Chains A and B, each alone.
Chain A
Amino acid sequence: MLTCKEFDDFMVDYLEQDLPVWQKFMCWLHVKMCRECAGFVRDYHRAIKLGQKAYDAPGEPVPDSVPEELIKAALSHRKST
């Protein structure tokens, strides 16, 4: 079985489904057998999801309004080029 350190080395590839079948199986088995790593994977997923939620989808309307002087400055830059 993989050690926790070896699993950690493979983790990004494992989560991106970027491992050969045998290594993928070894990682899966390690997570099933190791409570510490299972907890770590759970926290890791949670961090990714929280990060994504914190910004919502970038394409959605953004509540931040732009100061008028910033808009005017951008437009005046164009006229000066």
Chain B
Amino acid sequence: MARATRVISQTKPRNADDASESGYLDGNDKELLACLRAGDDGCYEILVRRFGPQVLATAKRYLRSDADAADCFQDTFLAVFESIDKFEQRSTIATWLRGITINQCLMKIRAQGRRQEDSIEHLLPVFDEKGDRINSCTSKRSCGIGESIDTAQMKRLVRETILELPDTFRVMLLMRDIDGYSTKETAIILGISVTAAKTRLHRARTALGSLLKPEMERLKYHADV
């Protein structure tokens, strides 16, 4: 667990804000960090106000309820306040905070216990005895035609669909595809083998694709994806 915490706090996700992170800390970050380490109350308020929206948005991605996200928000800043001296400046403050937030979310999900998760087997590919793929209608949802949808609606639909995935698969998908950790980093953080992480990721993506496919066809969404 300690190793996972270290990895998640210090790993710089690939697809996040890399371009702006080439020097890791810009002038604003350096100034804020110095001020935080000096114990200035005003700087802690600046930190919470500047990065609070990002922390809350990340918590809402991983946790299903707003109340849990609010708890995670508090726990994240508490952890930050306690560990600001340990920040090694190998990423921006934003990236460091995101790692701590995700770690707090994972602890919360684990603390809630492993609930009986819905099976996603019906969303996975089916093969015949020769190993050939059998195409089948995999979504439980009914299909209509003719509605149009804009990008904002599509984003909401996709977020809601990701939330439908069981925690095991949703967390894997979010960490790997949204927050940009590598498969190996994600495996270490989650305490599973790389092979298990790859299997989980493949199943998560496949399930998401199966859930979204009929929606895309039904809603005639033709965005450039």
Chain A positions near chain B (C-beta within 8 angstroms): 3-6, 8, 11-13, 16, 34, 36-37, 40, 43-44, 46-55, 57-66, 70-71, 73-75, 77-79, 81
Contact = CB atoms under 8 A, between A and B. Distances in A.
Interface string B88-99: 000000110010
Given A12-B198, A58-B16, A58-B98, A81 B81 contact: yes
- Range of interface residues on chain B? 35 or more
B73 A66 contact: yes
B132 A78 contact: no
B216 A59 contact: no
Interface of B: 13, 15-17, 20, 41, 44-45, 48-49, 52-54, 56-58, 60-61, 70, 73-74, 77-78, 81-82, 94-95, 98, 125, 127, 130-133, 135, 151, 154-156, 158-159, 162, 173, 177-180, 183, 198-199, 201-202, 205-206, 208-210, 212-213, 216, 223, 225
- Residue among A6, A48, A74 with the highest chain B CB neighbour number at 10 A: A74
A61 B53 contact: yes
